[in-house]
Structure 1
Amino acid sequence: MDLCTLSVKDFLKRVAEKSPTPGGGAVGCVVASLAASLGAMVANLTIGKRGYEDVSDHMESALEVCENEMTYLCDLVNKDVQAFDQVMTAYKLPKNTEEEKAARKVKIQQALKTAIEVPFDLARRAKNIIVNLERIAKWGNLNAISDIESAAHLLYAVYYVAKANVMINMKSLNDEKYSEWVKEEMGHIESQIKGSYERILDVIAKRNG
């Protein structure tokens, strides 16, 4: 099932069901897409608006990024669920013989990497969006600027949703080199998101002056 085709009410019901999916990762993808949607809204409210003619190019570029991320994140919602299902399937593989045990171990490790890659990708998308929101915060329609602040708060939270899902799957991963690389990259992403977040709040505070 394509979770992005569900109504908001039906998606909430699916999350609340007695089932591990869709869980935090999928919800994080939806929240990130909502943040991108808020960015797109403010860009649209700026383009063609009197007094903002000089920043139309910036807004059109920012709008394109937001729309692309919204589409990408819809796909990532479903990939998150699929990744979890792969892990569960791998753990259910037979382990009656040494050969089966060895094959099961390989499949589990492969599935765990996929389950790490999806929230890792979510963290990258959150970074891409919040960096893009800096432009909208700086030049976007002042009457809607609180929506950019709202989007920034959401994306800041999304990073930690992504991090939680990366780390829980990392606990069972045997590839130490890969784990260290992911942790290092997540640290870089965290720094970039925090920087953009703080700059957005600062710009908005000054514009609201």
Structure 2
Amino acid sequence: MDFCTLSLKDFLKKVAEKSATPGGGAVGAVVAALAASLGSMVANLTIGKKGYEDVEGHMESCLEVFESESNYLCDLMNRDIQAFDQVLSAYKLPKATDDEKNAREMKIQQALKTAIEVPFDLARRCKNIIVNVERLAKWGNSSVLSDAESAAHLLLAVHRIAKANVMINMKSLKDPDYGAWINEEMKQLEKQIDFSYNKIIEIIGKRNG
């Protein structure tokens, strides 16, 4: 099923059902896409406005990123659901013999890496979007700065969702080198996202007087 084609009401029903998918990761991808859409709105409401002629290039550049990320995140939502389903399927494999146990464990480890990589990718998307929201905070239409701030709040929350989903799958991972690399990358992403978030709040506070 392509969850991107569902109406909002149907998607909410799917999330509420007695099923593990779509879960937090998929919801996080949708929220990140909404943040990107808010960014697009701010950029569009700045382009062509009197007094903002000098920043149109910045706004057009931001708009390209927001539109691209929004489309990507829709696909990522579906991938998150598929990744979790793969983990569940791997755990259901037979384990009566040693060969079956080994094959099952290999499938579980492969599925776990996929289940880690999807929310890890979500964290990277948050970073890509929020650094451009920072540009909106600096140069965007002052009448819609609250929408840029709203996007920043959403992205901070989504990063926390992504981190939670990475960490829960890391618990069962048996590849310490891969785990160490993911941990280091997530730490760097967190620093970058937190830095941009704090700058956005600071800049908007100053612009609002």
Q: Which amino acid aligns with 2:169?
A: N
Q: Which amino acid aligns with 1:92?
A: K
Moved over 4 A (4+): none
Rounded Cα–Cα distance in structure 2 between residues aligned with 1:176 and 1:54: 50
Q: CA deviation at 1:40?
A: 0.3
Matched, 1:13 2:19: no
Q: CA deviation at 1:156?
A: 0.5
Alignment-derived partner of residue 53 in structure 2: 53
Q: CA deviation at 1:96?
A: 1.2
Q: CA deviation at 1:50?
A: 1.1
Rounded Cα–Cα distance in structure 1 between residues aligned with 2:95 and 2:201: 54
The alignment of Structure 1 onto Structure 2 pairs a total of residues equal to 209
Rounded Cα–Cα distance in structure 2 between residues aligned with 1:199 and 1:109: 39
Alignment-derived partner of residue 149 in structure 1: 149
What's the secondary structure of 1:46's corresponding residue? Answer: coil
Q: Which amino acid aligns with 1:167?
A: M
Alignment-derived partner of residue 108 in structure 2: 108
The unaligned stretches of length 5 or more in structure 1 are none
Rounded Cα–Cα distance in structure 2 between residues aligned with 1:159 and 1:135: 19
TM-score, length of structure 1 as denominator length: 0.99
Alignment-derived partner of residue 184 in structure 2: 184
Rounded Cα–Cα distance in structure 1 between residues aligned with 2:65 and 2:129: 7
Alignment-derived partner of residue 77 in structure 1: 77
TM-score, length of structure 2 as denominator length: 0.99
Q: Which amino acid aligns with 1:106?
A: M
Alignment-derived partner of residue 90 in structure 1: 90
Rounded Cα–Cα distance in structure 2 between residues aligned with 1:29 and 1:185: 19
Rounded Cα–Cα distance in structure 2 between residues aligned with 1:39 and 1:138: 13
RMSD: 0.5
Tell me the percent identity: 73
Q: CA deviation at 1:200?
A: 0.4
Rounded Cα–Cα distance in structure 1 between residues aligned with 2:112 and 2:188: 22
Rounded Cα–Cα distance in structure 2 between residues aligned with 1:155 and 1:140: 18
Q: CA deviation at 1:184?
A: 0.7
The unaligned stretches of length 5 or more in structure 2 are none
What's the secondary structure of 2:20's corresponding residue? Answer: coil
Q: CA deviation at 1:97?
A: 1.1
